[in-house]
């Protein structure tokens, strides 16, 4: 089974990214043949960016992924812009992508509303580049959080349309969303997902947060005027989110968490969630501190990954170009 997933090089990955995606990447390393993970710097330029910061962020994200458990010898970990087949395939796939489909994408609507100066054509084409990322490797499975469901459905549609028009060439990938933790919510605004852009500072727990910062954010997490630690009922989004987080980080089911905290106050419950998150993230933060200074080693890992990725993607591109009548043939 070929696994593919991409992650943006926003230097500060948050708990939602970790639980929804990075945790699945590490598990996928055992099942993937191969498991391919891409740091998508070309996606990062669809909204305003600083060139120097972007390079730094790629290193930060690489170090976080390795610190979390990705082993560049057991998976293919690379930077998107190092494999030019992604951009070429994006253009080729744009020929079989409906403008109307791109117009319906929730992420485009949300992100374009937030742009003050320029809504770039790149932001509109973001899902086509994402389709190219996955389809270039003929991946069977795409592990992502719930927010990416619509984009994966679109890439399936693009693969189908390509195959109908040019013959069986591309693979329609399956979406893999975790049963628990597919949509971690902002601690201050529990009806909104925890997010890199548009999230609240106190409601977003970062993978690299120190224990004191995590405790403070959990202490001020929004709950409700009730007192019961349970996830169903009017206005329980905040508590439900904390139950879900605790369930993932402790690897226990949500019912037993509700039973354990029956009769306990919200203060004690939040304290337990904070402690569990600190314990969950600390090994990654500590390992990150060791890995991050050696940029040479990070670049070497990315370069080796890009070489392996290029070998696979170039084969697909040759088939796609041939099928479409592009180039010499
Ligand atoms: N709140 C979340 N809960 C569960 N999974 C999540 N993901 C994102 N937010 C949550 C998953 O993380 C992976 C990487 O996402 P990305 O590459 O889009 O990185 P990002 O830009 O840092 O993610 P955000 O927070 O979603 O930022 P915005 O909103 O600015 O784009 C994906 O698999 C995603 O599903």
Nearest ligand 1 atom to the CA of 143 is: 33
- DSSP SS3 for 277: helix
Distance (Å) from CA 20 to ligand 1 centroid: 8
Distance of CA 5 to the CA centre of its chain: 7
The preferred substitution site among 129, 147, 248 for testing ligand 1, maximizing ligand atoms within 8 Å of CB, is 147
pLDDT attached to residue 9: 97
The rounded distance, in Å, linking the Cα atoms of 60 and 54 is: 10
Where are any strands of DSSP class E within the chain?
3-7, 35-39, 76-79, 141-143, 174-176
Percent of the chain's residues with pLDDT above 70: 100
Nearest ligand 1 atom to the CA of 13 is: 22
Distance (Å) from CA 45 to ligand 1 centroid: 16
pLDDT digits (tens, 9 = 90+) for 246-271: 999 999 999 999 999 999 999 999 99
Distance (Å) from CA 186 to ligand 1 centroid: 12
Distance (Å) from CA 264 to ligand 1 centroid: 32
pLDDT digits (tens, 9 = 90+) for 116-165: 899 999 999 999 999 999 999 999 999 999 999 999 999 999 999 999 99
Ligand 1, atom 14, residue with closest C-alpha: 7
The stretch 63-73 carries a mean pLDDT of: 98
> Which residues share a beta bridge with 174?
141
Mean pLDDT computed over every residue of the chain: 97
User: Over 70: is that where the pLDDT of 56 sits?
Assistant: yes
Distance (Å) from CA 16 to ligand 1 centroid: 7
pLDDT attached to residue 129: 98
Sign of CA dihedral 132, 76, 293, 18: positive
pLDDT attached to residue 197: 86
Fold of the domain built from segment(s) 3-182+294-324: Rossmann fold (3.40.50)
The rounded distance, in Å, linking the Cα atoms of 308 and 176 is: 24
The rounded distance, in Å, linking the Cα atoms of 244 and 45 is: 33
What are the domain boundaries of the chain?
Answer: 3-182+294-324, 211-289
Fold of the domain built from segment(s) 211-289: Tyrosyl-Transfer RNA Synthetase (1.10.240)
CB-CB contact of 287 with 63 (8 Å) = no
Ligand 1, atom 12, residue with closest C-alpha: 17
> Cβ neighbours of residue 131 under 8 Å, at least 6 residues apart?
90, 93, 97, 151, 154, 155, 158, 159
Same fold, 3-182+294-324 and 211-289: no
User: Over 90: is that where the pLDDT of 11 sits?
Assistant: no
pLDDT band at 234 (very low <50, low <70, confident <90, very high): confident
User: Over 90: is that where the pLDDT of 233 sits?
Assistant: no
pLDDT attached to residue 300: 98
| Phi and psi angles of residue 39, each rounded to the nearest 5 degrees, phi first | -95, 110
The rounded distance, in Å, linking the Cα atoms of 37 and 83 is: 13
Half-sphere exposure of 63 (CA within 13 A, CB side): 26
pTM reported for the whole predicted model: 0.97
Residues with CB under 6 A from ligand 1: 7-8, 10, 16-17, 19-21, 144-145, 147-148, 182-184, 193-197
pLDDT band at 329 (very low <50, low <70, confident <90, very high): low
pLDDT attached to residue 268: 96
Kindly write down the DSSP assignment for every residue of 25-44, as one continuous string.
Answer: HHHHHHH-TTEEEEE-HHHH
The rounded distance, in Å, linking the Cα atoms of 44 and 157 is: 24
Give 56's DSSP letter: H
């Amino acid at each position: 089974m070929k696994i593919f997933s991409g992650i943006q090089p926003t230097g500060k990955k948050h708990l939602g990214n970790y639980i929804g995606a990075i945790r699945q990447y590490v598990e996928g390393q055992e099942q993937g043949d191969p498991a391919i993970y891409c740091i998508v710097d070309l996606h990062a330029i669809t909204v305003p960016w600083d060139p120097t910061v972007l390079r730094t962020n790629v290193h930060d994200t690489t170090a976080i992924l390795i610190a979390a458990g990705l082993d560049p010898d057991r998976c293919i970990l690379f930077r998107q812009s190092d494999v030019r087949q992604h951009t070429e395939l994006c253009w080729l796939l744009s020929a079989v992508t409906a403008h109307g489909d791109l117009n319906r994408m929730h992420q485009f609507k949300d992100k374009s509303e937030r742009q003050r100066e320029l809504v770039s054509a790149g932001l509109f084409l973001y899902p086509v580049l994402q389709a190219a990322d996955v389809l270039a490797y003929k991946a069977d499975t795409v592990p992502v959080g719930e927010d990416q469901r619509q984009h994966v459905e679109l890439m399936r549609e693009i693969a189908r349309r390509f195959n109908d028009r040019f013959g069986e060439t591309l693979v329609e990938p399956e979406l893999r969303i975790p049963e628990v933790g597919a949509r971690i919510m902002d601690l201050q605004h529990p009806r909104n997902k925890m997010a890199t852009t548009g999230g609240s500072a106190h409601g977003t727990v970062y993978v690299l947060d120190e224990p004191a910062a995590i405790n403070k954010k959990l202490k001020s997490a929004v709950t409700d005027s009730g007192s019961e630690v349970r996830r169903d009922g009017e206005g329980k989004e905040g508590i439900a989110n904390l139950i879900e987080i605790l369930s993932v980080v402790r690897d226990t089911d949500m019912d037993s968490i509700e039973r354990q905290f029956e009769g306990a106050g919200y203060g004690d419950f939040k304290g337990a969630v904070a402690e569990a998150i600190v314990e969950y993230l600390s090994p990654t933060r500590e390992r990150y501190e060791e890995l991050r200074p050696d940029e040479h080693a990070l670049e070497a890992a990315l370069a080796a990954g890009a070489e392996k990725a290029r070998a696979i993607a170039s084969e697909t591109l040759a088939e796609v170009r041939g099928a479409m009548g592009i180039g010499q043939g």
